[in-house]
Chain A
Amino acid sequence: MSLSPTGQNTTRVDLLLVADMIEVGARVLDVGCGDGALLKTLIERRRVDGRGIELSQAGVNSCVAQGLSVIQGDADTDLDAYPDDSFDYVVLSQTLQATRNPRVVLEQLLRIGRRAIVSFPNFGHWRVRASLLFGGRMPVTENLTYAWYETPNIHFCTIRDFVDLCDAIGAKIEGGVALNGSGNKVGLQLPWAVWNLFGEQAIFLLSRPR
């Protein structure tokens, strides 16, 4: 089971999509690596030199017991120690919304890595909107399983919000994928507004501001 903050178990597709974005033999840091499923996938499929950071002890234990190089740490506080350019890719998978300061974290990712890959649940998805509009309650969906009072996800954003943040810090969006509820890609050529409505989660490949 995945230990990602969204509490979901449907990450296989997004793992493979992330793997597709990374070249063979790259140096990769997975921030919020959970039980190591992505790192394992990347090591097996892309032969990367992979490292991880994970907050939960259960996640770290599981990773280290599998022989992965993972440290117990916090995306908000433990990225400082990494030097500039120490990785080809820094991945933040389903974790951005659980950080205290997503903007600083995003800047850190792009400082440490040449590229950053960020995936997150899209709060602009129609089901989320409908839940709030018609139900009048904070949405609890298959992908966002926590009630508002116990959720670790303190900084939800929509795909459009995320694109705005990338603009604000000058990050270049090199690629992106939105996945619908069935884990299929939302048409690549469609405008942001469509992604934002039908994408349950999004994965972005970013490069450093110039």
Chain B
Amino acid sequence: MSAALDSIANPEAENPSSLIVRFGPDKPLMLDCGVALTPFQIAYQTYGTLNADKSNALLICHALTGDQHVANDHPLTKKSGWWLNMIGPGKVFDTDRFFIICSNVVGACMGTTGPASQNPHGDGVWAIDFPVVTIRDMVRAQAMLIDHLGIDTLFCVAGGSMGGMQVLQWAASYPERVFAAMPIATAPKHSAQNIAFHEVGRQAIMADPLWKAGRYIEAGVRPEKGLAVARMAAHITYLSEPALHRKFGRKLQDRDAPTFSFDADFEVESYLRYQGRSFVERFDANSYLYLTRAMDYFDLAADYEGVLARAFKGTKTRFCVVSFTSDWLFPTSDSRAVVHALNAAGASVSFVEVATDKGHDAFLLDEPVLTATMSGFISSAARARGLAGGAS
């Protein structure tokens, strides 16, 4: 490996600071596109202790740009875990009671096999030779991890956004293995508007000359500008107009008057540029292409003759669906479609629409109503599962 490559390649992609399970040729991951992915590995983090009868395992599914570092400092950015406010002793996902698992999804870049991983059939990384993956593929890989850990039934599967899609897929694909499910700020299918936003992001990456038709790692470069623009555009969709107004308004950045230039005059511009810059340090551009594609392809009902309720037919899983009033990326109507399907399937379901102006990202933030909802649901599910006494 050349020196340039060392500096460009993300060391976490191949040798992550996480637990790893490697699946050899005997256990390929059968992808929806028809390819058998082998060998492949899954990087994951765990918190808390698995109890003797393995009934207290809780799987967290991460979102598009999240990863398995859900409750520990990130190895690259050194920032605290993305759901640290929910996970820990005495918190909603109580590490004194539950064994919490979070794995990097297939196609991502923090240690689970993806386009930045070594291609076993070639000299370099997979890059865009990596097969296109789906949400169902991600869930299939997670099920292999759960098998590997010897866990039969997960106490709960929870996640927001793309993580919520995985939760819905888990409930549909493995209903008997999911005791409780918490899909948050998500949808049973990706909308045309959301596919459109993703396409803008992908085109920004592919328009960057340093993308090099996907072969940038071998060329020792990174399409940072394209990836940053993709992140900036996407980041706007995670917020809301009122939240942007409250945070930035038309305030100028470190200056008293406009400069009559294309500098970042406004605070909001400076903020977005920062978001773009910091993102490229931890995320692989090709992974961004693959994971956005996986979300675009997600349409749960399509696998069930177009009737969403059939995806949940006969389910015994108890569901808690949460949406946010100001989320225009995954609006409440999407969550309500899930709730109606669950009602039609006779499922046990709770549904809360949280009033907040923080937009889609509200699921990552301290929202007292969200916390109370999740906590009430998890506690009652734990009682029903006989987990009231804590892990032992």
User: Which A residues are within 8 Å of any B CB, using their own CB?
Assistant: 49, 51, 57, 60-61, 63-73, 78, 80-83, 86
Contact = CB atoms under 8 A, between A and B. Distances in A.
B236 interface: no
B353 interface: yes
A71 B349 contact: yes
B127 interface: no
A147 B113 CA distance: 65
A67 B379 contact: yes
A64 B34 CA distance: 42
Contacts of A83: 344, 346
A64 B340 contact: no
B369 A71 contact: no
A72 B343 contact: no
A64 B353 contact: no
A65 B322 CA distance: 13
Interface string B333-355: 00010011101101011111111
A72 B340 contact: no
A57 B348 contact: no
A63 B369 CA distance: 12
Given A57-B355, A61-B369, A61-B372, A68 B350 contact: yes
B382 to A, nearest CB: 9
A69 B343 contact: no
Interface in B301-348: 318, 320-321, 336, 339-341, 343-344, 346, 348
Interface residues on B, range: 20 to 34
Interface of B: 318, 320-321, 336, 339-341, 343-344, 346, 348-355, 369, 372-373, 375-377, 379-381, 383
Given A64-B377, A81-B343, A86-B346, A71 B372 contact: no
Contacts of B341: 81
B344 A69 contact: no
Contacts of A66: 376, 380
Contacts of B339: 71, 73, 81
A71 B376 contact: no
Nearest to A52: B350
A158 B342 CA distance: 36
A105 to B, nearest CB: 16
B128 to A, nearest CB: 42
B348 A82 contact: no
Contact of A61 (B321, B346, B373, B379): B373
B129 to A, nearest CB: 44
A195 B145 CA distance: 65
The 10 closest A-B pairs by CB, nearest first: A67-B380, A65-B376, A81-B340, A71-B351, A81-B343, A65-B372, A64-B350, A69-B348, A64-B373, A64-B376
A65 B375 contact: yes
Contact of B352 (A49, A57, A67): A57
Nearest to B384: A67
A46 to B, nearest CB: 17
A157 to B, nearest CB: 28
Contact of A57 (B318, B353, B381): B353
B351 A72 contact: yes
A65 B343 CA distance: 20
B137 to A, nearest CB: 30
A67 B369 contact: no
Contacts of B369: 57, 61
A83 B377 CA distance: 25
Contacts of B349: 51, 69, 71
Contacts of B350: 60, 63-64, 68-71
B149 to A, nearest CB: 28
A64 B346 contact: no
B353 A72 contact: yes
A72 B203 CA distance: 39
B338 to A, nearest CB: 10
A86 B349 CA distance: 14
A81 B344 contact: yes
Given A60-B352, A72-B353, A73-B351, A82 B343 contact: yes
B355 A69 contact: no
Given A57-B352, A60-B352, A69 B318 contact: yes
A81 B375 CA distance: 27
Contacts of B351: 60, 70-73
B112 to A, nearest CB: 33
A86 B343 CA distance: 9
B325 to A, nearest CB: 9
A148 B377 CA distance: 38
17 contacts: A49-B348, A57-B355, A57-B369, A60-B352, A61-B352, A61-B369, A64-B376, A65-B372, A65-B373, A65-B376, A66-B376, A67-B381, A70-B351, A78-B340, A81-B339, A81-B340, A86-B346
| Most chain A C-beta atoms within 10 Å of own C-beta, residue among B318, B321, B343 | B343
B156 to A, nearest CB: 13
B267 to A, nearest CB: 32
B353 A67 contact: no
B383 A67 contact: yes
A60 to B, nearest CB: 5
Contacts of B321: 71
